[in-house]
Amino acid sequence: MGRWWLLGIVVVLIVLLASLKSLATLYTDDLWFSSVHLHSIFTTLLGVKLGLFASFGAIFFILLWVNLVIC
């Protein structure tokens, strides 16, 4: 049972290490937009990107679920 916790921790660390470049880019963009006093544009862009990700993810999930139910 203890191995599953260790495996979960390793997976979380791998995902965190893999996303460090993206997080650094996001933080750098946030700093730059703030430095030129356009932080509202950054938050709008981030909101649009997250909204598109969520909506297309939901559409994909629904289509996948329908196909699984049909099968």
Q: Identify the pLDDT of residue 69.
A: 95
29-69 pLDDT per residue, tens: 999 999 999 999 999 999 999 999 999 999 999 999 999 99
Q: Identify the pLDDT of residue 1.
A: 63
Residues 6+ apart with CB under 8 A from 42: 29, 30, 33, 34
Q: Identify the pLDDT of residue 37.
A: 95
Whole-model pTM? 0.68
| Token output for 15 | 């995902």
- Beta carbons of 37 and 24 less than 8 angstroms apart: no
